[in-house]
């Protein structure tokens, strides 16, 4: 048994985070082909006996496209308005595609404040527990329409790591527009090498992380390293993989050598 089999094959509860760059075109409109492709894989994964939670980006991007804006708004009220419009579009799209595979979804909008208070955290855990027990696929996003800086996660990489930790997930899959963590920026260095496995997140690994993500998204490799720290310290292994690769979720679950695996720390 190789390391991938050890940390992935037995994973029962899985959180899948899908980034804005995977879900939308550069103009902000939803990429329906990609959404349907991912939904089919997730539905099949649940049918195999796994419990699946989806943490999704794309609400602001979808709202930007619907409102006909040419770029992401720079002020908070405009961003919140775009999120309010886009969240409905995003959820309706997920519901439509998942229902075609006989799956039921439930929406959970969350802020950092919701997991900072004991009672709210317990309520969140209970909600996830009941949904998963009833075979529902929770669709999670930050409540961008009302959230302010003081209570926001800021990016869905961090949110997905928190969710994975809260629900006691076995595996977190971060789908982005890059194949994984490289030892250098592959956009600048054609000789950059993909790192297959990370046992410990040290200064060298942190130094491999770049800066900003896509124009519509809020994440970058730095936020993914932060997410990996949160997840692995709470006993959750994590993989960064390219969401645009055909059958990427199936490839990950099949323990194929794709993406970068961050190995969970053993809880003492």
Which residues are part of a known binding site for ATP? 17, 176-177, 218-224
Q: What span, in angstroms and rounded, lies between the C-alpha atoms of 105 and 116?
A: 25
Asked whether 159 and 167 are in contact (CB, 8 A), the reply is no
Tell the burial category of 102 from Cβ atoms under 10 Å away from its Cβ (0-12, 13-18, 19+).
Answer: exposed
| CA dihedral over 86, 248, 45, 169, signed as positive or negative | negative
Sequence ranges of the binding site: 17, 57, 144, 156, 176-177, 218-224
Binding residues for substrate: 57, 144, 156
For every residue of 21-64, DSSP letters joined together read: HHHB-TTS-B-HHHHHHHHHHHHHHHHTT-EEEEEE--HHHHHH
Task: Please report how the helices 221-233 and 156-166 are oriented relative to each other, as an axis angle in degrees rounded to 10.
Answer: 10
Nearest to 17 by CA among 53, 47, 43: 53
Alpha carbon distance 195, 39 (integer Å): 28
Q: Cα separation of 237 and 5, whole Å?
A: 12
Distance CA 89, CA 25 (A): 15
- Write the CA distances from 149 to 2, 121, 146, 213, 223, integer angstroms: 43, 20, 10, 19, 16
């Amino acid at each position: 048994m190789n390391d991938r089999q050890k940390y992935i094959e037995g994973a029962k509860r899985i959180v899948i985070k899908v980034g804005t760059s995977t879900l939308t075109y550069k103009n902000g409109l939803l990429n329906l082909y990609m959404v349907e492709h991912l939904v089919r894989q997730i539905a099949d994964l649940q049918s195999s006996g796994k419990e699946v939670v989806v943490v999704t980006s794309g609400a602001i991007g979808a709202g930007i496209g619907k409102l006909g804006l040419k770029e992401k708004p720079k002020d908070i009220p405009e961003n919140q308005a775009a999120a309010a419009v886009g969240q409905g579009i995003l959820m309706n799209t997920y519901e439509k595609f998942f229902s075609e595979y006989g799956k039921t979804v439930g929406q959970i909008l969350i802020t950092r404040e919701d997991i900072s208070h004991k009672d709210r955290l317990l309520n969140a855990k209970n909600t996830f527990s009941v949904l998963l027990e009833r075979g529902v696929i929770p669709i999670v996003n930050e409540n961008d329409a009302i959230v302010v800086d003081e209570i926001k996660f800021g990016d869905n990489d961090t949110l997905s790591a928190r969710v994975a930790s809260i629900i006691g997930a076995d595996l977190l899959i971060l789908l982005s527009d890059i194949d994984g963590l490289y030892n250098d920026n592959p956009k600048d260095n054609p000789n950059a090498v993909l790192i297959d496995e990370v046992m410990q997140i040290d200064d060298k690994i942190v130094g491999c992380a770049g800066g900003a993500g896509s124009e519509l998204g809020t994440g970058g490799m730095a936020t993914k390293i932060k997410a990996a720290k949160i997840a692995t310290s709470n006993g959750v292994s994590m993989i960064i993989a390219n969401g645009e690769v055909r059958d990427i979720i199936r490839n990950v679950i099949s323990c194929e050598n794709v993406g970068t695996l961050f190995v969970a720390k053993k809880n003492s």
